[in-house]
Amino acid sequence: MSEPVTFESLNLSPAILKAVEQLGYETPSEIQTQCIPLLLDKKDVLGMAQTGTGKTAAFALPLLNNIDADAKHPQILVLTPTRELAIQVAEAFEQYAKFTRGVEVLALYGGQSYGIQLSALRRGAQIIVATPGRLLDHISRKSIDLSRLSALVLDEADEMLRMGFIDDVESIMAQTPEDKQTCLFSATMPKQIQSICKTYLQDAEQVRITPRNSTVSTIEQVYWQARVHKNNAIVRFLEAETFDAAIVFVRTRNDTVQLAELLEREGFSAAPLNGDMNQQARERTVDRLKSGLLDIVIATDVAARGLDVERISLVVNYDIPQDSEAYVHRIGRTGRAGRQGKAILFVKGNERYLLKNIIRHTKSDIAEVQLPSAKMVEQKRIDALETKIAAALEHKDSEFFAQVASSIGNKLQLSQGDLAAALLCLAQQQTPLKVEEIKAKERPERGERNDRNERRNERGDRGERRRDDNRRDGDKPRRERRDSNTPMDTYRIEVGREHGVQVKNIVGAIANEADISSKYIGDIRLFDAHSTVELPQGMPAEKVAHFQKVYICKRPMKLTLSPSEANAPREPREQRDSRPPRDRNERSEGKKRSFRDPNAKSKAPRKERRAVSFQ
């Protein structure tokens, strides 16, 4: 019988082993056991593994072990699809390099000051963790030199393909040395990812981690069939569950704010986490969650990508994800590194097909649970009160309060039981001990979509998925349906068909650099020398200025506001009726390229359309 593998047996340096021990790592995971020896031998590796399997340490520990701390230039480059994942991976490298002198780690991502990044590059950071868009900006500015790169890692390559960044990734890879070590990690292996592997990986060793389920076995998964308003249900579940910290997933950024406000009113320590927040505010929220100053975050998929907080033991899918892979990534925020976690999924009657898709995809047993009863929540509140009373008895002034209580009881001629009941009644404040049962909903509450509209949207989503399935892999990134009530402005960018640009390139650059959800990116028209894109009204001047320096297909976007028929004053009806019809040959050369039906019209008048905040 072979001896169990340990980190000491993997030939890592003493400094790295000391950092690993301090972090509490005991036994390497399966992917770490297989990848670390291969990468220590400087072999190319193709790793197929789901989130939460420990793949960051699988590539970070051996690559850090091989680094030359005296050489002050970029040696390791890790490309990630989102800024959140870039920050997480950079923090992991910093923890592993804690006792390795002379090593500097730098995260490059949109939304952070160029000054900070340029300063770190001048100091000679050896490990660069970057999103594709911001790295291409630095390459175009000649502020980073990749010519002496010794190792390149593509983390979550399939996610970069889905988000439309894969062309940028190939452009970056083409500018790196041919003799570098390359490591690619992906949960799935679409054709375009396979093509990259054949082109850029040399005699790669394959590491395939196939768990029994595609979700982590340490996570208890349950679903609740929504028969009452979800706002009431989320409060009831959070009160009934025992957790250290929780993350609640919703579909839109507005929902994160509204639900956080609701939970704050109910006495929970909650805050939103979304793309409308600047990077500093988002990092501050995550730090508060890690330190215990915050217990619940309400987040969108993109904002929570790569979030790894040890305290998170509960994940609530308030809105069911349309994509089964998104579900896997969501619940992967808990149950990490062997820790126990729980995931609750809210499912409406017309969403059961999505539940079936998730069960089929994850091969998981997701049991149905009932809404916690009023009696259950009452007992939870009573137990919490008992704990507070026991702690209060240890107060240094407890004897004084006992005298006050006795005096009040004698004065009002109250028994000890009546006095205690009166004090408990006063102590309830916003959380009464007595809980009423929640009645089944009879009509949609404020803030919820009408069921009829939901069914219509879901039919449209299913049609969009069918269209996506019929496209060639990587042809277009999947996008959320744009809210037709969002007022839009038309912008011009100085990149067109003759430069090789595609719609997915524009979507990817805007989504990554401005952190704008793809559902708020409207119609895109490709012309020969330029293109136009619809973006929400009210874009801050600094965001527009930033886009002057963002590159697409190796050319600067130079985003500028462009007057269009949609934004121009509408002619009086009599003038339009008297105008002679245009010949078809006189129409614009631009061919409309859109992810939504070009003939679809918004039903809401423009003046009533909902604005998108960029604050």
DSSP assignment of 210-221 equals: --SSSS-TTEEE
- Residue-averaged pLDDT of the chain: 78
CA 128 to chain centre: 21
Burial of residue 337, with CB atoms counted within 10 A of its CB: 0-12 exposed, 13-18 middle, 19 or more buried:
middle
Tell me how far apart the alpha carbons of residues 20 and 24 are, in angstroms, rounded to a whole number.
Answer: 7
For residue range 387-440, what is the model confidence (pLDDT) as tens digits? 777 777 676 676 777 777 788 878 887 787 777 777 767 666 555 666 666 666
How many CB atoms are located within 10 Å of the residue 406 CB? 12
Alpha-carbon distances, residue 344 vs 65, 340, 371, 426 (angstroms): 40, 14, 11, 34
Which has more confidence, 319 or 591?
319
Band (pLDDT 50/70/90 cuts) for residue 335 is: confident
| Beta strands 312-317 and 341-347, pairing class | parallel
Alpha-carbon distances, residue 303 vs 63, 249, 388, 433, 529 (angstroms): 28, 10, 36, 36, 34
Band (pLDDT 50/70/90 cuts) for residue 153 is: very high
**pLDDT above 50 for 592:** no
What pLDDT score was predicted for residue 305?
A: 67
**pLDDT above 90 for 2:** no
β partners of residue 341:
219
Could you tell me which of 62, 28, 34, 64 has the C-alpha nearest to residue 48? 34
Alpha-carbon distances, residue 235 vs 268, 330, 467, 490, 591 (angstroms): 9, 20, 38, 41, 49
Could you tell me which of 594, 553, 512 has the C-alpha nearest to residue 109? 512
| CATH 3.30.70 domain span(s) along the chain | 479-608
Query: Is 509 in a helix, a strand, or coil?
Result: helix
Tell me how far apart the alpha carbons of residues 613 and 274 are, in angstroms, rounded to a whole number.
Answer: 12
Contact 344, 316 (CB under 8 A): yes
For residue range 492-535, what is the model confidence (pLDDT) as tens digits? 998 888 888 888 888 888 877 766 766 678 888 888 888 999 88
What is the 3-class SS of 398-424, one letter each residue?
HHHHHHHHHHHHHHCCCCHHHHHHHHH
Query: What kind of architecture, by CATH, is found in domain 8-208?
Result: 3-Layer(aba) Sandwich (3.40)
Q: Which CATH class is domain 219-373?
A: alpha beta
Tell me how far apart the alpha carbons of residues 468 and 478 are, in angstroms, rounded to a whole number.
Answer: 7
Helical axes 191-200 vs 166-173, angle rounded to 10°: 0
CB within 8 Å of 497: residues ≥ 6 apart: 526, 527, 528
Sheet containing 341-347: give its strands across: 270-273, 296-299, 245-249, 312-317, 341-347, 219-225, 367-369
Share of the chain above pLDDT 90, in %: 29
β partners of residue 206:
46
Look-up of token digits 């820790």:
339
Contact 71, 47 (CB under 8 A): no
Tell me how far apart the alpha carbons of residues 17 and 12 are, in angstroms, rounded to a whole number.
Answer: 6
Tell me how far apart the alpha carbons of residues 42 and 152 are, in angstroms, rounded to a whole number.
Answer: 11
Look-up of token digits 């987040």:
299
Task: List Cβ<8 Å contacts ≥24 apart for 4-10.
Answer: 5/33, 10/36, 10/37, 10/40, 10/61
Q: Answer positive or negative: Cα dihedral of 358, 360, 363, 365.
A: positive
Tell me how far apart the alpha carbons of residues 176 and 151 are, in angstroms, rounded to a whole number.
Answer: 9
Task: Cite the DSSP H helix spans in 428-450.
Answer: none
For residue range 348-389, what is the model confidence (pLDDT) as tens digits? 887 888 898 888 878 888 999 999 888 877 777 777 777 777
Buried b (16+ CB within 10 A) or exposed e, 377-399: bbebbeeeeeeeeeeeeeeeeee
What pLDDT score was predicted for residue 317?
A: 95
Six-digit token string for 526: 């490709």
Question: Torsion angle of alpha carbons 27, 29, 31, 34, nearest 10°?
Answer: 30
| CATH 3.40.50.300 domain span(s) along the chain | 8-208, 219-373
What pLDDT score was predicted for residue 613?
A: 43
479-608 has which fold? Answer: Alpha-Beta Plaits (3.30.70)
What pLDDT score was predicted for residue 577?
A: 43
**pLDDT above 80 for 124:** yes
What pLDDT score was predicted for residue 1?
A: 44
For residue range 80-115, what is the model confidence (pLDDT) as tens digits? 988 878 888 998 899 899 999 999 999 998 878 888
What pLDDT score was predicted for residue 52?
A: 61
Contact 144, 74 (CB under 8 A): yes
Which has more confidence, 21 or 579?
21
Look-up of token digits 């639900």:
259
| Global confidence as pTM | 0.49
**pLDDT above 50 for 31:** yes
